[in-house]
Amino acid sequence: MPDFEELKTKEQLKSNHSVLNSLNQMLHHDFCPQINEWVYWMKNPFWCLSLSILTALVCGLLVNSAILYIATALAMIIAVGVLWPWVSVKGLAAELSFNKVRTQCGEPVGARLIVKNNWPWPAWGVYLRHPFSEHSDHLCEVAIDCIPGWKTSEYTWNFIPRKRGVYSTSTAFLETAFPFGLYKKQISLSMDSVLIVWPEISKLAFMPELREVSSSEDRFASHRAGDYGDVIGTRTFRLGDSLRRVHWSQSARQGQMIVTERQAAAVCALRVIPDLNQSHYQNGNSESLEAVIRITASICDSLLKQHACVECLVENQLFRCEGNQRDQYKLLDELACIPANGLPSAEVKPVKSALPEFIVTNSSGYLKQMQIGSLTHRSRSIVVQDPPLQESDHDSVCQCAPWMRLNHPDESRDKTFADSWKKACYAS
């Protein structure tokens, strides 16, 4: 039998909990966001103490002169709270450096901060803040409780960049508000160090079959199995194999699916064209642009590791990579430096080529390319579907299927992209 008293108590607690949640939401709700810029100054305790001093002065002059002692004490607190941070940071000199020049998103990088305190007394409550490319406001990277006087201190930690871009330490600074948090004083770093963060790169283990490229005997490796050259043998069917590779007579003889195994491609050539037109990524739709850049970097990096010749057209620059690591670094550096809102359309000029083209774009860009008929028979489109909130009403009208489609920008960074690439390579 259920305990009715216990059930009644649980319902009462649940009701009280919902009331408290409603009250908490009401107290934290911003009812007048349009006047925040006029009242946010009150969050700083400096102004509250200043108003308290003014009130104590008025009361001391009009009511009782003993209240002037309170005004004096509050004024001393403000003086210490303002002068101490200002004096503390004047004796500090710091520099920040990284142990690498280039890295990828999500990979840790060793960071080192060297701080020299020229004063005989220590500096307390010092923060290292930076904006880099994460947010518009300054993030706290390192908090130092105490920097000893007349000493050079060194601090090391692992910094993990979350977004691509060029991270310059010229925008970082040391800050302190010790002891009362009334006034924040900051100093810039004495030495500039740059870290180039490449986009996230997914490993693609397959290469598309490009019939447009004329093949020859030296373009295939007979000692490596693949899907592109002459038949070198047979094997049992594996999940993901194309049905066009099935050897039907051998399958009937063996009683199981048998597929032919071909030579692996030693050399193939293609061109990758990312759509970086900022008009296709308006209304804050930056997720699709980042996905396009990630896909471009993944395709170029993976095909280069498979000994392919890759051209990538970024803005007006054509990057030719033929296994040279320096050329690959130049390409990835250029992808890291692309603005967050894309490139102006006036700066993008097409460069003709006889190579097969892989155009990486979003649903808005793909629709416009279909409307103007800019896609050729050598073009294969990889389309990143815009998030639903940023899609226009006419984006869903086009039912033309691209070579590969990702349903969400986040799919460009997980296993879904690798699986979709594998299926598209087999189907081509």
Phi first, then psi, for residue 150 (nearest 5°) are 50, 45
- pLDDT tens digits along 88-97: 999 999 999 9
- pLDDT tens digits along 96-132: 999 999 999 989 999 999 999 999 999 999 999 887 7
Domain 91-198 has CATH 2.60.40.10: yes
Q: Where are the domains of the chain?
A: 91-198, 217-265, 269-427
Helix (H, G, I), strand (E, B) or coil at 157: strand
Asked if residue 268 has pLDDT above 50, the reply is yes
CB-based contact 295:380 (threshold 8 Å): no
CATH number at 269-427: 3.40.50
- pLDDT tens digits along 359-398: 999 988 888 878 777 666 678 899 998 876 555 444 444 5
CB-based contact 386:395 (threshold 8 Å): yes
Quote the pLDDT of residue 9.
Answer: 64
Quote the pLDDT of residue 249.
Answer: 85
Asked if residue 16 has pLDDT above 70, the reply is no
Which region among 49-53, 154-158, 174-178, 392-396 has the lowest average model confidence (pLDDT)? Answer: 392-396
Quote the pLDDT of residue 15.
Answer: 62
Asked if residue 64 has pLDDT above 80, the reply is yes
324 exposure class (CB count in 10 Å sphere: 0-12, 13-18, 19+)? exposed
* pTM (2 d.p.): 0.73
- pLDDT tens digits along 315-326: 788 898 877 788
Confidence of residue 428 (pLDDT cuts 50, 70, 90): low
Q: Do domains 91-198 and 269-427 have the same CATH topology?
A: no
Asked if residue 336 has pLDDT above 90, the reply is yes
- pLDDT tens digits along 218-227: 444 444 455 5
